[in-house]
Amino acid sequence: MDFSNTYADHTDDIIDLFTSTFTASEGAEEGALIGQLVRTILATTARDDMHVFSAIEDGAIIGTIIFTRLTFPKDSRRVFLLSPVAIATTQQGKGLGQNLLRYGLDALRDAGVDVVVTYGDINFYAKTGFAQIGTEIAQPPQPLSYPEGWLGQSLTAAPLTPLEGPSRCVAAFDKPDYW
């Protein structure tokens, strides 16, 4: 298995992975919603505002994680949002998601990113260094329907201290449905 940060030639495969994975776990409506979100992210987000990492086995994409810029105009730190994440249903439970996340976090650290936040299952994301944070640490761009799932971590030697001011996400995420 290989990890890759190139996605331009694989956008349809990545969209299909997200659609099928979320359809299997959450139903057809959610699968279509997340598939469309990924299509929009890949089509409309500036290259400097996005990092896409995939796991590839025998030429097939079996996992993908996407990071998009989260801007705090009053704070100089570089912050990215991890979302969404998809691991092929046949590959789940084998540690692939954790390994892919570690690969992506290391690449972001090497690229000078200071902080990563995500919105999801603490039991899964804690395995790769995420911890629950309150909105006083990082104000989300939209109200959270599940505040317990707001997670973050510093990618530097410094602890995660409050990010100043309100945040802005990329346009694809700027909808209450995703929060």
pLDDT digits (tens, 9 = 90+) for 40-52: 999 999 999 999 9
Which CATH number goes with the domain that contains 29?
Answer: 3.40.630.30
Tell me the residue range of the domain where 155 lies: 2-178
Confidence class for position 177, pLDDT limits 50, 70, 90? confident
Give the separation between CA 128 and CA 121, rounded to whole angstroms.
12
Chain segment 108-119, per-residue pLDDT in tens = 999 999 999 999
pLDDT at 8 exceeding the cut of 90:
no
- Give me the pLDDT at residue 178, please: 87
User: What is the tally of structural domains in the chain?
Assistant: 1
pTM recorded for the entire structure: 0.95
Is the pLDDT at 6 greater than 90? The verdict is no
Asked whether the predicted pLDDT for residue 1 surpasses 90, the reply is no
Tokens of 6: 């190139």
Q: Which amino acid, residue 92?
A: Q
Torsion from C-alpha of 84, 73, 79, 34, nearest 10 degrees: 0
Instruction: From 25, 144, 45, 143, select the one nearest 85 (Cα to Cα).
Output: 25
Q: What is the tens place of the pLDDT at every residue in 10-69?
A: 999 999 999 999 999 999 999 999 999 999 999 999 999 999 999 999 999 999 999 999
Contact between 153 and 147 under an 8 Å Cβ cutoff? The reply is no
